[in-house]
Structure 1
Amino acid sequence: MAVNSVQAQHYDPHAAFAPTLYTQNGNAFRSASGDPGPAYWQNRADYTLNASFDSSSHVLKGVAVIDYTNNSGDLLPYIWLELDQNTEKPDVLANILNPNNRTLTDKLGFQFAKVQVLQSGHWQDAKYQVDGTRMQLFLPTPLKGAGAKVQLRLDYSFELQKSSAGDRAGYMTTPQGTIFEFGYWFPRVCVYDDIRGWNTLPFIGGGEFYFEYGDMDYTITAPAGMLAVGGGALINAKDALDSKLYDQLQKARRSDKTVVIRSKTDIQKGIATKQKTGQTSWHFQMKNTRDVAFALSSAFIWDGAKINLPNGKNSFAQSVYPISSAQNDSSWVRATEYLKASVEDFSTRWFEYPYPEATNVAGPIGGMEYPGITFDHHAASGKSLFMLISHEIGHSWFPMIVGSDERRAPFMDEGFNTFIDIYAQQDFNHGEFAPKRDGEYAPGGGNPADEIVPVIASVQNGPTLMTPADWQDYKYVHPMSYFKTAFGLVLLREVILGPDRFDYAFRHYTAKWAYKHPMPTDFFRSIENAAGEDLGWFWRGWFYNNWQLDQAVTGVSYVDDDPTKGALITLKNKQQLPMPVTVEIHQDAAGPITMSLPVEIWQRGDSWTFKVKTTSKLKSVQLDPKALLPDVDRSNNLWQAK
């Protein structure tokens, strides 16, 4: 296909294959191989959270006790925390940069009754200052490094809005009750790392989060009759649940097929918690996680099934949704089936799921991920529901297990996750919903290699994959961070490295950086080392730039004008992005010939002539016969004899 907006370029091999992609050598913290180094460190934040929710006023009151461990070698006189609920306040950067019609007031967002530090066995009020979505808490005594600890306590509250914290939390009403979804619901410690020290980019909306790992123990107290689901394991299910539901829960945990735990009839009868009046407390625990989220409602249908993991162990898939989301066989009644299949697929292909439960919540949030739990739109059904569930739970791998910085490198979570979705959708139920499409970017051709061409053309002077989400017009975030990244990894897997080399390298990267904080160059180095290939030309062209590709057949001749002595074929790289070349050659009186030429043919210049052993005249020469490459002009890929 030809794209009118393509800008003429002169191919420069010295720019494409420049040897200076990495500006720093490997060190003791991050090895040149892309693995964590022998002295790699990261800090830790363990949370004990106790919260109560008033379903009438929509106010959540909480006490967060944070045990913070400084594993760096640095002395820390202060600690930065993130306050994402403060996006409901009028003067935060998110609302200055993205004005809207919501009613905002300083009475919304986090309100603090106490901010304290445990000092000499006693809680002491701490000095702090709040700047938008960030809090700087000053320590009475600087925290030493090498494993020293400090304990913080924050007593806080906030009023949940219909759409809260940049549409990461909220509520919706149904005839059977209100569904409340809580994300970004407690103050969280920012990452302190070996790259930038404190990572304090404010929450604006496009970039999501970057937090330390730790164990989270949390208890939610809510009116009796409301069910709660949350990230991690429900510790007190037998005490909290009605006995009928508890028995059904145990059946579901043992079943390979979806078991209804709480039915439409149970909702109508009011069967939910053991206590029928007053309050019910729900106690959850999640190990080695960087966040937790939860949901509450009296309107939930609840079902679940066993997840079978490669090591022979099990996890548990569960979905909660209102009656209105269960109208037909293509609706949320299949949600647990989709969830179970996706977790099993990602576990088999890439890295085993580590959490005791995986949870879907149907509600007002269109699609939002947290470790082990997702908020998905209540009206989704069919293929769109599978795509939504698979994508959001896929985030449990990227960036929840592999803890990249979503604020600065959105391609490392959205793009990597979109990539693994492609194969999960291909594998599910013999391809029932395959292939995965980024349909809104498809001009009609149906070929991802063609669909990405106008996307790249549209951002020639715009953001690259290395641009943080909040530093670009949000219209570019999805086509770039999701679509372009995922397609780039497909190119690496299917064209450049091959599935075996790529899969080993990608699994290696995932395992080495599980529960750690990789940077983009760690990923680039890791893939290069594990696959044994210098890919600087690809990272530079696809990730650091929006270079375009245009390969062409520019000449065909014969040795001594005799076809039996062989044909000489000349190719040209007409744009700045180099790529390997696949050539399909058809002769008059012999079978077709397919040749694969490595990307190194473009290291010395923009033209390459190669010899083909032929026995008769050529009828045609076709580049990229399967149309796998994002070539901006396919018309010059074909040479035909006159």
Structure 2
Amino acid sequence: MRILLLLLSSFLLRAQSGDYFQQEVSYDIRASLDDRNHELSCFLQLTYTNHAPVALDSIVFHLWPRAFSSDQTAFARQQLRNGSTRFHFSAEEDRGTLDSLDFRVDGQPAAFRFTADPDIGVLSLPAPLPPEAFITITTPFRVKIPMSFSRLGHVGESYQMTQWYPKPAVYDRDGWHAMPYLDQGEFYSEFGDFRVAIDLPENYVVAATGTLQEADERSWLLARADSAQRALAGRDDLSPGYVAQPYPPSAAARKTVTYTAAGVHDFAWFADKRFAVLHDTLHLRPRPNKAIDVWSFFTETEAALWKNSLTYTKRATRFFSERLGTYPYPQVTAVQSALSAGAGMEYPMITVIGMSGSSYALDEVLAHEIGHNWFYGVLGSNERRHAWMDEGLNSYYERRYTREYYPERSGRFQLLPGRETDINALGYRYTARLGKDQAPDTPSDSLSQVNYWIAAYGKPTLVLEELEGQIGQAKVDAAFRRYYTTWKFRHPGPEDFFAVMESETGQGDYFRDALTTTGRGSFNAGAQRRPEGDTNWLPSIGLVTAQEREQPALFVTPLAGFNANDGAMLGLALHNRTLEPRRFEFLLAPLYGFGSKELAGFAGGRYRVTRPLSWLQRVTIGAGIQRFTDFVPPAERLRELDLRYGYTRSALKSEFFFDHPAVDQRESSVYTQLIHLDRARPAFSPGGDLLDDPAHLTTNFLVLGYQARMEREINPIAYGLRLEYRDDGNAGSVDTDYLRLEGTLTGGYQYDRKKFVRWRLFGGYFLVHDAREGNASPEFSFSLVDNAATDYRYDDLYFGRNRDKGYEQQLELRQGGFRAPIAPAFSYGRSNDYLAALNLDADLPLPNLPVGLFFDAGVYGFRPTLSSDPTNELNWVGGLSVNFFNSHLQLFLPLVADTDTKRLLQERGNLLDRTSVRLRLSSLLPWRWLDDLP
């Protein structure tokens, strides 16, 4: 009877939809688990009915366990692109595959071949399959179960069996949808019926899609649930966190458990000998006499949270049923198990949840994953191509669920205790205002990792919430009920959704614009809204507030600092920057130096234009000024007079960021920069008397540059070119104008998890330089050693400028990059002609120890005296390095060097005096690292 109804329904839908059709698949799978070797031996019998208007000569199969077989799969490549090296560096025995295939069609051998993607294959049929005909396909297969790298896997003897069997790809009006397995990006599968029999040791507890057929096994589970219910009620030692619960030995006796499921497009099961079980039933309108089984399976981990899981599961099932349509399946199950692909993952009738952390988080993620039964399970859209149709629409209802049952949270994310924000709005506006957002209707594998969350989940939720604010929840629910009723079990696409929204709400174009573009029409214009004005006295960047309105914001943050010339400094930062970028941002950060008794600090502003042209991601124009003391006269008389002199650096910069596909992991820009440097120095009369007013040494720099980087996980690379003109504005001085060209190429190779070999090449040449033939070594000469004395543009921050001893040991990475604290009084490593340098770093393969080796070498043109000929000098140094805080703090101990370098290092004193430190102070400023968020 059910088959007749499905055939009639299929005929009517095809008649209504023109070229719409839907294939029909029926599975019969027998599987036997070997938990010693983590293998599954299986046999598949599959009936495939062709409802397409054309004959098929082949069928495409997904063989997704093979995604875990090598580094050449789409899954492996995506893992690296998203910054995970766990699979790449995994041992061969921890990987998985699917093999031992022997396809037969109606009993006849059939040719089968793999495609360029090893987890996709094509079965050639012995004869074309006509419309409305069916065939029976059989094959044995073996699954080598990988460790838990994504969804399919095992942790010890706990098994998560998902996407584990050969599955025909969807064939619809657009043809075959062959897709390799991905971690980011879910599924598109054909509806069908399943009968799955699993043989395994009898003390395993199994949770699965479908209805359990063995009455004895069901009675055993119910008895286990009854004892668990009583035990939980009497325990006060339940854990809210992880518990290292041992696995009991596997029973020698085995059992077979069988499950059937109809009208689903996937089958998943989970097995663990440690599972506790809870059970209840749920009655829903309009079928109050048909009870739905509600199951919960979990271990001791977070048992304090899971004791309430039945309440959460029943409540969520009722919530979605009342708003979208009655839950159509006979059971709903929640499982707490290992998961390496997010907080939770849905399958028909069953969802698996990882660690949650709190009762609220568990309830929230269960509601989200249970809601997928409607969008992912019944509607069955192509999530790989249109992830928002599942994740985004479902997230909107999940937010409504949390607002209803946790009104104090208002569906918002709690960044800090008492400070909540709309994480969807924050994420969307962050990327949109930087021109890094992508349209939600972008294929999953073409979305950056952060945009997969924002575009697939966040922005669609915001779109629907904005519509809800205009027409009310009742009309939104009515539209969704119409959409669900019209398209259930039919794989709707975006235009199908837009058409329903247009007919029910009149907002089809609104949805199309908001979900298929990043333009600035209708909804997308909201990316430029600014948060409500506020003053934040926290010692950190301000947080976005709950409301938004068009008015400025002001934040106040205490600041403290130190350098050897100004001494301890205290001040305030006044700014309008929150976690969200703004079109215009400003910062005023005055500091008072208690040592210099002078005013120091920063001030600046930046204006940002997003996507002015199709090939430009954004343009920024900024100006800034900073002032600090940088010179303390050495004479005792001057120190007694407490005279100190400083610098004022003003800069104007424009930068043009090019637009690149997110999956390229490429960023590039061209920039121009104008720097005006004014240094106040002691001034003396012709007779040697100190004048009241200091002398001002002014210099201008004009820079044109290009920079690019590819943030690849295994072999990152970056390069840049810089053309710089210097205008010496000091009348009467020796002409020291120049034009110089320099380039940098950096890269690396990750040879083990978190262990790198890194390299850097620098080359620079003075194209025009009147002092090329001189033997003086001014601060703007090319230099092997990048310390405060050679920071001639005052680009970086130092604890002590023009200070000796330990302050000379703070180095940076600009030109030669030498890790040798040579005093600037020497002409070592200086050139008025050219310089080329190589810097090498290698992390030692010591677990959890950030120790490495370094080696620097450089060659440069040098004239020892005015009467001597130019020579080419070669210097080198090597030693040990220690890296802290992701290399923001590095220590370098030189151990070997060429003769000249070694002599100068020995003159410094002991090993401690020869050690150098690289502390990237400027990169730690909050307004810098905020812009480097993903």
Q: What are the within-5 Å matches in structure 2 for residues 362-373 of structure 1?
A: 362-365=336-339, 366-373=343-350
Q: How big is the shift at 1:85?
A: 1.1
Q: 2:487 aligned with 1:513, yes or no? A: yes
Contact in 1 for aligned 2:98/2:141 (Cα 8 Å): yes
Pick the aligned partner of 2:169 from 179, 185, 190.
190
Residue 527 to residue 634, structure 1, CA distance change in 2 (3 Å): farther
Decide whether aligned partners of structure 1 residues 526 and 318 sit closer, same or farther in structure 2, where only a CA change above 3 A counts: same
**Residue type matched to 2:49 in 1?**
T
- Deviation for aligned residue 1:44: 1.4
SS in 2 for 1:320: strand
2:119 matches 1:133? yes
Aligned equivalent of 1:153: 138
**CA displacement at 1:105 relative to structure 2:** 5.1
* Cα shift at 1:432: 6.6
* Contact preservation (8 Å) 1:115, 1:152: no
- Which residue, 173, 177, 184 being the options, matches 1:199? 177
Q: Aligned to 1:65, which of 23, 45, 59?
A: 45
Alpha-carbon distance change, 377 to 578 in structure 1, aligned in 2, over 3 angstroms:
closer
Q: Are 2:402 and 1:402 aligned?
A: no
- What TM-score does the superposition give when structure 1 sets the normalisation length? 0.71
8 Å CA contact retained: 2:224, 2:277: no
Q: CA deviation at 1:464?
A: 0.8
Greater fraction helix: 1
One-letter code aligned to 2:489: Y
The verdict on how the C-alpha distance between 1:307 and 1:247 changes in structure 2, with shifts beyond 3 A counting, is same
Per the alignment, in what secondary structure is the counterpart of residue 456 of structure 2?
A: helix
Q: What secondary structure, in the 3-state scheme, does the structure 2 residue paired with 1:347 have? A: helix
List per-residue Cα deviations over 1:498-550 (Å, max 9, x = no partner). 3232221111001111111111111011111123x153144214542253779
Q: 1:160 to 1:114 in 2, by over 3 A?
A: closer
Distance in 1 (CA, whole Å) between partners of 2:231 and 2:348 is 23
Distance 1:385 1:434 in 2: 15
Query: 2:194 aligned with 1:208, yes or no?
Result: no
Larger RCO (CA under 8 A, 6+ residues apart): 1
| Cα separation, 2, equivalents of 1:449 and 1:97 | 24
Q: Does 1:352 align with 2:352?
A: no
Give ranges in structure 1 of 5+ residues lacking alignment.
Answer: 1-27, 253-257, 551-574, 580-626, 637-642
Separation in 2, partners of 1:315, 1:433: 31
Change (3 A) 1:36 1:112: farther
Conserved? CA contact 1:338–1:386, under 8 Å: yes
RMSD of the TM alignment (CA)?
3.6
CA separation of 1:310 and 1:342: change in aligned 2, threshold 3 A = same
Matched, 1:92 2:77: no
Question: 1:364-391, CA deviations, whole angstroms, 9 ceiling, x for partnerless residues?
Answer: 1141111111110145431111111111
32, 36, 50: which one aligns with 2:30: 50
Scaled by the length of structure 2, the TM-score of the pair is 0.50
Q: Would the alpha carbon gap of residues 171 and 111 (structure 1) be closer, same or farther in structure 2, given more than 3 Å must change?
A: closer
Q: 2:185 is paired with a residue of what secondary structure?
A: coil
Q: 1:628 to 1:298 in 2, by over 3 A?
A: closer
Give 2:644's aligned residue: none
SS of residue in 2 equivalent to 1:516: coil
**1:172 maps onto 2:152 in alignment:** no
Deviation track 1:141-185 (CA, whole Å, cap 9, x = no partner) reads 11111x211111121112222214xx1122335xxxx32111111
Q: Equivalents in 1 of 2:527, 2:275: separation in Å?
A: 53
Deviation digits for residues 211-253 of structure 1, max 9, x if unmatched? Answer: 00000110111111111110111111x2335x5644566x79x
Which AA in structure 1 matches 2:171? Y
CA distance in 1, matches of 2:500, 2:94: 47
Judged with a 3 Å threshold, the aligned counterparts in structure 2 of structure 1 residues 424 and 482 are, in CA distance, closer, same or farther, namely same
Q: Which amino acid letter does the alignment assign opposite residue 118 of structure 1?
A: V
Alpha-carbon deviation of 1:94? 2.4
Equivalent position SS for 2:282: strand
C-alpha distance in structure 1 between counterparts of 2:166 and 2:395, whole Å: 29
Aligned residues: 504
Closer, same or farther in 2 for the Cα pair 1:635/1:303, shift >3 Å?
same
Q: Aligned equivalents of 2:158 and 2:431: distance in 1? A: 40
* Distance in 2 between residues matched to 1:377 and 1:415, nearest whole Å: 21
- In 2, distance between residues paired with 1:325 and 1:132? 38
Change (3 A) 1:104 1:386: same
Structure 1 position 410, deviation (Å): 0.6
Aligned amino acid, residue 286 of structure 1 = A
Q: Which residue of 1 aligns with 2:582?
A: none
- In 1, the alpha carbon distance for the partners of 2:34 and 2:408 equals 41
State how far apart, in whole Å, the 2-side matches of 1:73 and 1:260 are.
Answer: 58
- The residue aligned with 1:82 is 62
- Matching residue of 2:298: 321
Uncovered stretches (5+) of structure 2, i.e. residues with no partner: 1-10, 236-245, 529-544, 554-934
User: Following the alignment from structure 1 to structure 2, what is the Cα–Cα distance between the partners of residues 29 and 466?
Assistant: 29
1:460-609, aligned counterparts within 5 Å?
460-495=435-470, 497-531=471-505, 533-547=506-520, 576=525
Conservation of the 8 A alpha-carbon contact between 1:86 and 1:108: no
Instruction: Pick one of 400, 403, 413 that aligns with 2:390.
Output: 413
Give the letter aligned to residue 527 of structure 1. M
Q: Secondary structure at the match of 1:527?
A: helix
Q: Secondary structure at the match of 1:156?
A: strand
More strand by share: 2
Contact 1:403 1:517 in 2 (8 A): yes
Return the alpha-carbon distance in structure 1 between the equivalents of residues 95 and 387 of structure 2.
28
